[in-house]
Amino acid sequence: MQYVTLGKTGLNVSSAGLGCGGHSRLGQAYGNSTAQSIAIIHAAMDMGVNFIDTATAYGTEPIVGEAIKGRRDEVIISTKRTIFQQGASPTGNELLTGAEFITGVEDNLKLLGTDHIDILHLHGVFANQYDHCVQELVPALHQLQDQGKIRFLGVTERFIRDTNHTMLSRALEDDVWDVVMTGFNMINPSARHTVLPKTQEKNTGTLIMFAVRRALSDPDATAEIISELISAGLIDPSDLDTENPFSFLLAPNCASTVTEAAYRFCRHEPGAHVVLTGTGSLEHLKENLEVLQMPALPTEAQDKLRNIFGNVDSVSGN
Ligand SMILES: NC(=O)c1ccc[n+]([C@@H]2O[C@H](COP(=O)([O-])OP(=O)(O)OC[C@H]3O[C@@H](n4cnc5c(N)ncnc54)[C@H](OP(=O)(O)O)[C@@H]3O)[C@@H](O)[C@H]2O)c1
């Protein structure tokens, strides 16, 4: 496993992180037992992964808590809490007070079975909610930090709706965040122009999500998204084989699968510290951890991807 320094946190983290959310939620989304999900976490740890990302909203914190019993010191725990009132719209302005947020964090600690969280993120923040975060929730996070309950402050964007990184562009003007999580992938690499230059300038720890998602792991989803981008005039159909749009990546000197290419694409992007991989399958986990240690894609493949998708910022690949 390769390790990197997570920006200003100074944490030494594996460049591949285990994502416990997404469409799989460690396989909980499609029927894995708790024991099977724990086995995924243990396999990842045994292969050198020391970065685990979860959230209250995923329902996987208790599984992570169970998996790290007796092994807490081996892992960096990144978890998140949503910022809106229960039952309110995630996009709206019915947001938690600092005191309510602090009370909620006790649940994260309990579910994870730990007395401290390494990185606590405000989960899926929209730009219209950002001022409230700074005014009301950041002081609460500092209070939690002073109490030793959290070590570092993070914020994650809602990439499905905020595909051009409006919230993070704003957040990175401030010196508040130790870590951010951004969507970035072969079909929407726009963080390269917005988020990543700023994180590098500020030495902000940077986590990559949506490396693969559906668009780069399911051929039907790939076909759908490519045709959407062509119809919207965002990519030129003459630049790729519309029947098999990523065939150019599957050359002998390039990648064996689109998924492999997708993870390698993210892994070597300047400014990307940890690439999260989400899976409920031991086989996929092993494959993904292996490909995340492989070299960058050949320059010609990277150039072609830049030429085709370089200006796309309106899809997430969800
Ligand atoms: N706003 C936020 O804060 C936010 C939003 C989204 C995600 N996240 C975090 O980011 C993490 C990563 O996102 P993600 O889970 O969507 O990860 P991802 O790695 O981009 O995509 C995972 C999807 O790809 C499939 N997959 C994985 N490896 C595969 C392989 N080798 N071959 C074929 N299919 C494969 C998985 O299904 P299988 O289970 O079948 O492998 C799953 O459906 C999440 O788990 C979560 O921790 C945060």
* Contact between residue 209 and residue 272 where contact means Cβ atoms under 8 Å apart: no
Confidence band (pLDDT; 50, 70, 90) for 230?
A: very high
Provide the pLDDT for residue 118.
98
Residue of 40, 54, 181 whose CA lies nearest to 107: 54
Provide the pLDDT for residue 310.
95
Provide the pLDDT for residue 182.
98
Listed by start position, the domains of the chain span: 3-214+269-296
* Contact between residue 310 and residue 206 where contact means Cβ atoms under 8 Å apart: no
The per-residue pLDDT for range 39-72, each reduced to its tens digit, is 999 999 999 999 999 999 999 999 999 999 999 9
Provide the pLDDT for residue 92.
87
Arithmetic mean of pLDDT, 139-147: 98
Quickly name the fold that domain 3-214+269-296 has: TIM Barrel (3.20.20)
The 3-class secondary structure across the chain, one letter per residue, is: CCEEECHHHCCEEECEEEECCCCCCCCHHHCCCHHHHHHHHHHHHHCCCCEEECCHHHCCHHHHHHHCCCCHHHCEEEEEECCECCCCCCCCCCECCHHHHHHHHHHHHHHHCCCCEEEEEEEEECHHHHHHHHHHHHHHHHHHHHCCCEEEEEEEECCCCCCCCHHHHHHCCCCCCCEEEEECCCCCCHHHCCHHHHHHHHCCEEEEECCCCCCCCCHHHHHHHHHHHHHCCCCCHHHCCCCCCCHHHHCCCCCCCHHHHHHHHHHCCCCCCEEEEECCCHHHHHHHHHHCCCCCCCHHHHHHHHHHHCCCCCCCCC
Provide the pLDDT for residue 69.
97
Dihedral sign computed on CA atoms, order 256, 53, 127, 197: negative
Ligand 1 centroid to Cα of residue 21, in Å, is 7
Atom of ligand 1 nearest to the CA of 29: 39
The per-residue pLDDT for range 161-197, each reduced to its tens digit, is 999 999 999 999 999 999 999 999 999 999 999 999 9
Confidence band (pLDDT; 50, 70, 90) for 149?
A: very high
Confidence band (pLDDT; 50, 70, 90) for 272?
A: very high
Residues at CB less than 6 angstroms from ligand 1: 19-24, 27, 53, 80, 123-124, 156, 158, 181, 209-213, 217, 259, 276-281, 284, 287-288
Atom of ligand 1 nearest to the CA of 284: 31
Confidence band (pLDDT; 50, 70, 90) for 204?
A: very high
Which of 206, 216, 284 most suits a substitution to test ligand 1, by most atoms within 8 Å of the C-beta?
284
Alpha-carbon radius of gyration of the chain: 19
Provide the pLDDT for residue 164.
97
Residue-averaged pLDDT of the chain: 97
Confidence band (pLDDT; 50, 70, 90) for 8?
A: very high
The per-residue pLDDT for range 88-108, each reduced to its tens digit, is 999 888 999 999 999 999 999
Ligand 1 centroid to Cα of residue 142, in Å, is 30
Residue located nearest, by CA, to atom 7 of ligand 1: 22
Provide the pLDDT for residue 125.
98
Atom of ligand 1 nearest to the CA of 55: 47
Ligand 1 centroid to Cα of residue 278, in Å, is 3
| Res 245 pLDDT > 90 | yes
Atom of ligand 1 nearest to the CA of 185: 20
Q: Which residues contact 5 (CB under 8 A, 6 or more apart)?
A: 11, 12, 13, 273
| Res 287 pLDDT > 90 | yes
Residue located nearest, by CA, to atom 19 of ligand 1: 277
Which of 212, 259, 277, 288 most suits a substitution to test ligand 1, by most atoms within 8 Å of the C-beta?
212
Ligand 1 centroid to Cα of residue 19, in Å, is 7
Tokens 């994180």, residue? 199
Ligand 1 centroid to Cα of residue 23, in Å, is 6
Ligand 1 centroid to Cα of residue 146, in Å, is 33
| Res 290 pLDDT > 90 | yes
